[in-house]
Chains A and B, each alone.
Chain A
Amino acid sequence: MKVTIEKAGSKEEEQAIIKAFEITGDIKSAAELLEGDSGSLPVTLDGKTFILKHNAIYYIESVDKKTFVYTKDACYESKYRLYELEKLLLGYFMRCSKATILNLKKVKSVKSEMSGRLNATLLNNEVIVISRGYVKEVKGRLGI
Chain B
Amino acid sequence: MGKLKLWFLQTMMISFAILVGIILEGVVYLIVDNDPLSEMSLDWYQLLSIVLTGAVCSLFSVILLCRESVSKKEYLIRVIIHCVLLYGLVVLIGKIFTWYTKLEGFLLVTIIYFLVYVFVWVSTIFLQKQDENKINKALGDIRDEE
User: Measuring CB to CB, which residues of chain A are less than 8 angstroms from any residue of chain B?
Assistant: 55, 72, 92, 104-118, 123, 129, 131-133, 135, 138-139, 142-144
A107/B134 in contact, CB under 8 A: no
A144/B135 in contact, CB under 8 A: yes
Q: How far is the CA of A138 from the CA of B76 in the complex (A)?
A: 26
- Assess A115 versus B65: contact at CB under 8 Å? Given A110-B136, A143-B138, A144-B134: yes
In the A-B complex, the 10 residue pairs with the closest CB atoms:
A142-B138, A112-B128, A112-B132, A105-B144, A123-B146, A117-B68, A144-B134, A115-B68, A110-B135, A107-B139
**Whole-angstrom distance from the CB of B60 to the nearest CB of chain A?**
16
**Whole-angstrom distance from the CB of A88 to the nearest CB of chain B?**
19
Given contacts A115-B70, A116-B68, 4 further A-B contacts (CB under 8 A): A104-B142, A107-B139, A108-B139, A123-B144
In the complex, what residues of A have CB within 8 A of residue B136's CB? 109-110
Near A by CB (< 8 A), chain B positions 88-146 give: 121, 125, 128-129, 131-132, 134-136, 138-139, 142-144, 146
In the complex, what residues of A have CB within 8 A of residue B72's CB? 113-114
In the complex, what residues of B have CB within 8 A of residue A139's CB? 131, 134-135
- Assess A131 versus B68: contact at CB under 8 Å? Given A105-B144, A116-B128: yes
In the complex, what residues of A have CB within 8 A of residue B65's CB? 115
Band of interface residues on B: 20 to 34
B146/A72 in contact, CB under 8 A: yes
**Secondary structure of the A contact surface, majority rule:** mixed
Contact of B75 among A104, A109, A114 (CB under 8 A): A114
Q: Can you report 8 residue pairs joining A to B where beta carbons are below 8 Å apart?
A: A106-B143, A108-B139, A110-B136, A123-B144, A129-B68, A132-B68, A143-B138, A144-B135
User: Measuring CB to CB, which residues of chain B are less than 8 angstroms from any residue of chain A?
Assistant: 1, 65, 67-68, 70, 72, 75-76, 79, 121, 125, 128-129, 131-132, 134-136, 138-139, 142-144, 146
- Assess A115 versus B1: contact at CB under 8 Å? Given A123-B146, A144-B135: no
- Assess A111 versus B132: contact at CB under 8 Å? Given A92-B142, A123-B144: yes
- Assess A107 versus B143: contact at CB under 8 Å? Given A114-B75, A143-B138: yes
In the complex, what residues of A have CB within 8 A of residue B67's CB? 115
B139/A114 in contact, CB under 8 A: no
In the complex, what residues of B have CB within 8 A of residue A113's CB? 72, 75
In the complex, what residues of B have CB within 8 A of residue A132's CB? 68
Looking at A72, A92, A105, A114, which has the most chain B CB atoms within 10 Å of its CB? A114
In the complex, what residues of B have CB within 8 A of residue A105's CB? 142-144
